[in-house]
Amino acid sequence: MQESIICVKYYTKILLSSTVMDMVTTNLQQQRQITEQLRREAALRRITVSKAVEDIMKYITEHEQEDYLLVGFSSQKSNPFRERSYCTIF
C-alpha cells in the first residue's frame, strides 16, 4: 500500500517536471516579449493631456466648416442625399 502510493507520487513528479519544463520555456519566451514590450512603451516620449486636447480642439476648429453632419448644408440643394422633388406632368 505504502509502496504503491510512493510509486504514484514519483510517477506524478516525473510527469509534472517534464510539463513544468515545457511551461517554463514557453513562459520565459512570453515573459521576455511582455517585458520587452513594456520597455519600449516606457521609453515613449509623452505630452501633457492639456497639450493633446489643445491640438485636438485646434484640428476640429479648423475643419468644422467642412463638417456637414455637424453644421449642415448651407442649402439643402447641395445635400447629395436630399429627397428629390419630382415634377408631375398632367
Partner 1 sequence: MDSATESEHIEKLIKEAESLKIKLEDERQKLNDITLASVADRLETITCINVKPRRVLKGHQAKVLCSDWSPDKRHIVSSSQDGKMIIWDAFTTNKEHALTMPTIWVMACAYAPSGTLVACGGLDNKVTVYPLSQEDDVSTRKKTVATHTSYMSCCVFPNSDQQILTGSGDSTCALWDVESGQLLQSFLGHSSDVMSIDLAPSETGNTFVSGSCDKMVLIWDMRTGQCVQSFEGHQSDVNSVKFHPGGDAVATGSDDATCRLFDLRADREIAVYAKESIIFGANAVDLSVSGRLLFAGYNDYTVNIWDTLKCQRVAFLYGHENRVSCLRVSPDGTALSTGSWDSTLRVWA
Q: Which is nearer to partner 1, 6 or 19 (CB)?
A: 19
Q: Quote the least distance from Cβ 21 to partner 1, whole Å.
A: 5
Q: Tell me if 61 sits within 8 A of 55, measured CB to CB.
A: no
Q: Which is nearer to partner 1, 9 or 40 (CB)?
A: 40
Q: Which is nearer to partner 1, 12 or 31 (CB)?
A: 31
Q: Quote the least distance from Cβ 29 to partner 1, whole Å.
A: 10
Please, which of residues 6-65 interact with partner 1 by CB under 8 A?
Answer: 17, 20-21, 24-25, 27-28, 31-32, 34-35, 37-42, 44, 46-57, 59-60, 62-64
DSSP string, 62-73: HHGGG-HHHH--
* C-alpha cell at position 45: 516620449
Buried-state track 6-17, b at ≥16 Cβ within 10 A, e below 16: eeeeeeeeeeee
Gyration radius (Cα) of the chain, Å:
34
Q: Quote the least distance from Cβ 12 to partner 1, whole Å.
A: 17
